[in-house]
Structure 1
């Protein structure tokens, strides 16, 4: 007889998990519904389309290259980032163009690219394109 009482007592000590699961699902639904998703704004980049035959009357282009170490070259000549705007201004005074190409190397730091883009964006007539380094 004593064995039956002992077995019956262990059966009664089970915990019903259903109410706890209901509460967890209700909390999950609450957090999903109340979460606000923020849409982050990015930079609009105009990518040039591939052309097999460049036009014969192509106007000169502002070309800015950025090395992995952060060195900036304007049309093949080394220049300091702070003096880049002055170089672009003198180039635009001599040449009629509306396009600028920024060519960073693969491991160039993003902040250097953004600094160069900020300098080029000072000239409203220029359309900025991002190029790919040959290496």
Structure 2
């Protein structure tokens, strides 16, 4: 009688990292794309405080008015006469976006009104003023 030996083939018992790498790559792509849609005004302003201030949850176009009465949009200083065209350009990418005016508390109120007026002339119905919650 002939005996046959059965050899057991050992399988690789390691952890398959492919699904985790796919997940990490998807997260990376998501954050890269999401970062492309964030447009900040470009400067820091000392916003006034308000008890009724609430966070804006939808994608917005931020326009900043500095204490030295400079207007900034998309990290660039803009003349008030060019502001309407810049807002119209940014609204082509995001037609439903609101405009948020981030005015410094020492900025001229008349300039803030001009910024709001230029935003409305650009076709934006939803214009808000940014404030710090108390």
- TM-score by length of structure 1 reads 0.53
Determine helix, strand or coil for the equivalent of 2:81: helix
Aligned to 2:15: none
SS in 2 for 1:100: strand
More relative contact order, 1 or 2 (CA 8 Å, 6+ apart): 2
1:49 CA drift (Å): 5.5
CA contact (8 A) 1:98 1:126 kept: no
Aligned residue number for residue 130 of structure 1: 129
SS of corresponding position for 1:107 = coil
Of structures 1 and 2, the larger Rg is shown by 1
Cα offset, 1:50, TM superposition = 2.3
Cα-to-partner distance string for 1:26-82 (whole Å, 9 max, x where unaligned): xxxxxxxxxxxxxxxxxxxxxx8624xx76xx4x31110000111001132211110
Unaligned runs of at least 5 residues, structure 1: 1-47
Count of residues paired in the alignment: 82
Listed as ranges, the matches of 1:1-135 within 5 Å are 50-51=54-55, 58=58, 60-132=59-131
Quick check: 2:99–2:124 contact (8 Å CA) kept in 1?
no
Aligned-residue CA RMSD (Å):
2.4
- 8 A Cα contact 2:101 2:127, kept in partner: yes
Tell me by how many angstroms 1:96 deviates: 2.8
CA contact (8 A) 1:97 1:126 kept: no
Indicate how the Cα distance of structure 1 residues 86 and 109 shifts in structure 2: closer, same or farther if over 3 A, else same: same
Distance 1:49 1:86 in 2: 29
**Is the contact between residue 60 and residue 98 of structure 2 (CA under 8 Å) also seen in structure 1?**
yes
Instruction: Flag the structure with higher helix content.
Output: 1
- Unaligned runs of 5+ residues in structure 2 are 1-51
